[in-house]
Amino acid sequence: MGQSLERRGQHLDLLPAVESARDFATKARAENTRRSYASDFSHFKQWCFDHRLESLPATPETVAVYLSDGATRLGLKPSTLARRIVSIRHMHRLAGHDDPTRHPGVGEVWKGIRRELTEAPDQKVAITVAQLRQMLSAIPETKRGHRDGALLLIGFAGGFRRSELVAINVGDLRFEPDGLTITVRRSKTDPTGRGRAVGIALGHDRLTCPVRNLERWMAAGGIDRGPLFRRMHRGDIVGSDRLRPASVATVVKAAAAAVGLDPAFLAGHSLRSGFVTAAARSNQPEWAIMRQTGHRSHATLRRYIQGATALRDSPSGHLGL
């Protein structure tokens, strides 16, 4: 963008606006998304280089052969190839080239790959309330323990994505007599930052009350401004740096392993899916669950709900067997 203006040496007064346009363009998507695009496209670019093919712009034939080679010789999963398609499409559009992934030939190859190599979604197991209580009972009475307990409970009760959970600042909290309201400034389904308010009610049990555990962590860690959930250093010292999204999975897996649960089946997302599962089993309406989690798609939400209520709602119990 703006290269033609610079080459002609015209409209020099617009050059600052050109630079601003570039800056805005890079911020159109989240940093993690941009990093993912770059990583996926680099794989395609290297493959093209190895086979003496042009990657940008690429022909539809090149993309079709890349997908076929990826699915067969390279053994890439359909989910991985789907990401590569999105990245190839994005990079071509960004460079002003025609999108080769839209060619009917590429579409037919991709359709055949999906039909032949259908894979079940790799979803981690949802944490149950009973498992969460078990994990919390084994967490040590240290500052790190207070942080981990608050992280687990706020993540679960809020139905937060990992990125949303670690992005919470003290200024986003509003304590009330009946609980706590957390303002989510930006999320995966809200890239423009309209924000949403998530209510966290007081719990009935001090061990599992999200609000009390959060207050305990803030008091123990001296957290009165800035990032809410922070890195810990040796000697149980609270750092100033914000936790990374991947650290949520680390906390979940460590707490699970401490009580004999298999951490291989759990991740940071297990807190969010655990909330949806528990809410569905307690007959909470879909609109209320979606308002809490920020889901935009009923179809996505129902993937969790159907699994959670499959036995409860099964007609097999009414067959007189």
Instruction: Delineate the domains of the chain, giving CATH numbers in brackets.
Output: 3-116 (1.10.150.130), 129-309 (1.10.443.10)
From CA 199, how far away is CA 182, in angstroms rounded? 6
High-pLDDT (> 90) share of the chain, %: 62
From CA 82, how far away is CA 55, in angstroms rounded? 17
CB 89 within 8 A of CB 101: yes
CA dihedral 161, 182, 299, 106 (to 10 degrees): -50
Q: What is the pLDDT of residue 1?
A: 47
What residues are labeled active site?
161, 188, 269, 272, 295, 304
Kindly report, residue by residue over 67-97, the tens digit of the pLDDT.
999 999 988 888 899 999 999 999 999 899 9
Kindly report, residue by residue over 217-241, the tens digit of the pLDDT.
999 999 999 999 999 999 999 999 9
pTM above 0.95? no
H or E element at residue 42: helix 31-50
CB atoms within 10 A of CB 18: 15
CB 238 within 8 A of CB 206: no
Least confident range of 25-29, 40-44, 142-146, 160-164: 25-29
Contacts of 211 (CB under 8 A, 6+ apart): 175, 179, 180, 200, 201, 202, 203
